[in-house]
Amino acid sequence: MEWFRNIGLMGRPGNTAVADTLLDVQRYLEGQGRRVLFDEDTAALLPSRNDIQMCSRQSLGEACDLVIVVGGDGSLLHAARALARSNTPVLGINRGRLGFLTDVAPSELEDKLGAVLRGDFAEDKRFMLSAEVCRDGLVLGDMLALNDVILHTGKTVHMIEFELYVEGEFVYRLRSDGLIVCTPTGSTAYALSGGGPILHPRLDAMGLVPMHPHTLSSRPIVVDGESEIKIQVLSDIPPRVSADGQPGQMLKAGDWVYVRKHPFKLRLIHPPGHDFYAACRTKLGWSSHLSQGDNE
């Protein structure tokens, strides 16, 4: 059986450093008899576009059986938001720093990508978050996140005040630098640096991580993944809400932010040998020493 006949290639817009790897991937895939398409933004990164097929970023997921993202985790986050509705599986090739989501190194390209083309891969389904901002009963905007939705102070150095509700139940009123609402995927990103727990990718849960709270008793909370999170802004200092580090929406006192599970999921492809805990050991510097008898 032949897997993934039509394959899309995507890189982060403006990141010309990934051009060589994109061309390497293109040559390898075409050598394997696959049809390769670039989205228009990615094609603009290449030195020559005479011999490539292009389509819009919005159409790439519909036109392809697989999309390969070349870049760091940020590039894959960008792709996830663009491809959320198409249900197209995504594979990441790491040209960034940490690479929790982009777990194929350029040096492993032919070996790992060849295995995937032969059908030797694992698939994760990662849920995403939708965030909606409401003011005086009107929806100002919505946003989509694979990692996290963050209420934060923007460029100011003042604390903000807000109230948190989970499934309509009041949790607390807090003064802090903000609040991170993360998926299991996002639990190893910004939420981790804020002292949040690591959530296994298969968990149906969200983490709520306060940022530098003005109290010693505020701790991260893990809630059911189907929960509706409501945040009411009380501070006169205008905070901002952002999804996956995007610019987001400025807020004012009285605004509500609603965070819920998005109906679409990201289908994330892993080559053979992928291990979540091994990734944690490698990326987070956990000890890899196995004492004698520990594996007995």
Q: pLDDT digit string (tens) for 26-65?
A: 999 999 999 999 999 999 988 876 678 999 888 999 999 9
Structural domain that includes position 133: 128-263
Assess whether 157 and 244 both reside in one domain: yes
| Residue 37 covered by a domain | yes
- Quick check: is 43 in a domain? yes
The better pLDDT of the pair 294, 82 is held by 82
- Positions marked catalytic: 73
Please check whether residue 108 lies inside any domain of the structure. Answer: yes
Please state whether beta strands 138-145 and 221-224 pair in parallel, antiparallel, or not at all (unpaired). unpaired
5 is written with which tokens? Answer: 């006949």
pTM for the full predicted model: 0.91
Distance CA 277, CA 281 (A): 6
Sequence-distant (6+) residues with CB within 8 A of 262 are 84, 127, 128, 129, 130, 144
Which CATH number fits the domain that encloses residue 209? 2.60.200.30
- Return the pLDDT at 1: 64
For residues 236 and 171, membership in a common domain is answered with yes
Block residue for tokens 């805990």? 277
- Find the mean pLDDT for residues 159-188: 96
Whether residue 172 lies inside any domain: the answer is: yes
Does residue 100 surpass a pLDDT of 90?
Answer: no
Token output for 259:
């965070």
- Are 145 and 253 in a shared domain? yes
The tally of domains found in the chain comes to 2
The sign of the torsion formed by the CA atoms of 139, 143, 145, 149 equals: negative
